[in-house]
Structure 1
């Protein structure tokens, strides 16, 4: 049986947003064990933005941007990347990568609540069920005694929740904001602005900066994966799928990513997965499924 080129590309693209996005938690966890969190995130996004602009220039895509668009890109970059991603990388110093991914999978729940509060959007019965299951899943996840007893865990969990609110608000903001029409260029400016803000924070906090040649091999490979695969390949796959398949199918990455992150964290970093975490994952991701199946809300790359 002949398989069309388009079918192969779709399969590869789904592999990218499932596995690559799911693996970014592991890669960040490896990197933050050696590198300061805000320096790490800044280097990742500034480098990725330069690569994006270079590719755009080679492809003869215009990089022109108006002042209002630059302002909105800077706001989105701060909400998505400076706070939404940089602070999560900091939180990974205290929580397991799989745990962080599982907590972040509740983002559609937060988006739904913010849409109700900020825009008065009606919530369907199925989505109410999803929210209810989501809260139960989060309660089971964060209420484990072995987690609460560990130093820094509560701080990490609260911080990650604050980042989810930032991502969710940013996702609503960019829906109506004046931004560059070319999504590739738009993301490049957001990464540049967010990355520069992260660099400024790193300098203010007096984080030690270093060059890649001085890093351990595993950190070098992890950063390379974050820049090339997490910020470039997965982004391209994401945009391709949004134009090729339905948004609901693309949204399935929301509840596949944490499973990938849990498995990789357990397999490579020897992170513990409790029975309560597994039950919490099933309940939480079922709730996210109910929310995604009723709301045609497009997922965003930038917080990853």
Structure 2
């Protein structure tokens, strides 16, 4: 009976990291079509972080952290959520959700290169092949005339790249930072910190805030799904799977998320999926596969397990 329950939990958890994380690009695209990007991200993460704190109190989990941990979770919140996610939401005003998901799927490539340049880590031959394929895939993806000529698309692509750098550097930072040992508490503080900085950013850019009652039904639903499922359920599932199954199985979400995002964007938002995008996706994801050797996956899983967050 217990074994059947565990299998059911594992299946449900994989569904979460495959479908829910893959759908966050689509949900953000729907919401940002009506709401200012930094306001949207601020509401999402501040609310999700607050809910995590409430859950911790109900479960009797201590929220106490040191000053150093508070500083580190604030830095991580900025790198992952304020910049790494908030700017991606802004970029979704100008690029398709499926395109953004494909570009971000190159994140392991960025982390590997940062490890090489910042930490001096050697890149294994298989990973070098992955880097080459990844660069070719990215070039094919971003060099399409239909995308380049679209207003604001080039700036959107560039900003997504900087977001990937922010996530990559954040991964290196949290691997050595003093953070709360409980991943739920760690994530709660990161989300609240990132959300509050996004609030300041929203005010600085003079975004117009509106009450949820004035939002359309589709935006209200998208925000609810982003808060409860995209920020809490999928994250909890991710950390559960890191302990329940092998890391390389968890890493398969890297290949599934862009496919889900492309399908949702194509079906619901009429986003164009070109032949060149498909070729770029195959080459790029093949490169990511070669980068995700077993040892590399172990390194990435330790990063993400400690930072507590992995997707927009």
Higher alpha-carbon deviation: 31-40 or 244-253: 244-253
2:200 aligned residue: 200
After superposition, where does 1:62-141 map in structure 2 within 5 Å? 62-141=62-141
| Preserved contact between residue 78 and residue 193 of structure 1 (Cα < 8 Å) | yes
1:285 aligned residue: 285
1:250 aligned residue: 250
SS at match of 1:4: helix
Higher alpha-carbon deviation: 294-303 or 26-35: 294-303
Deviation at 1:302, TM superposition (A): 4.4
1:159 aligned residue: 159
2:178 aligned residue: 178
Q: 1:82-114 deviations in whole A, cap 9, x for unaligned? A: 000000000000000000000000000000000
CA distance in 2, matches of 1:53, 1:242: 22
| Preserved contact between residue 84 and residue 303 of structure 1 (Cα < 8 Å) | no
| Preserved contact between residue 167 and residue 303 of structure 1 (Cα < 8 Å) | no
1:38 aligned residue: 38
CA distance in 2, matches of 1:143, 1:302: 27
1:4 aligned residue: 4
1:57 aligned residue: 57
- Is 1:235 the equivalent of 2:232? no
Give the RMSD, CA atoms, in angstroms.
1.3
**CA, structure 1 residues 199+126, in 2 after alignment: closer, same or farther (shift >3 Å)?**
same
1:14 aligned residue: 14
Unaligned runs of 5+ in 2: none
Unaligned runs of 5+ in 1: none
CA distance in 1, matches of 2:99, 2:270: 13
| Preserved contact between residue 21 and residue 311 of structure 2 (Cα < 8 Å) | no
Paired residue total:
304
Deviation at 1:122, TM superposition (A): 1.0
CA distance in 2, matches of 1:69, 1:149: 45
Q: Which runs of 4+ in 1 moved over 4 A?
A: none
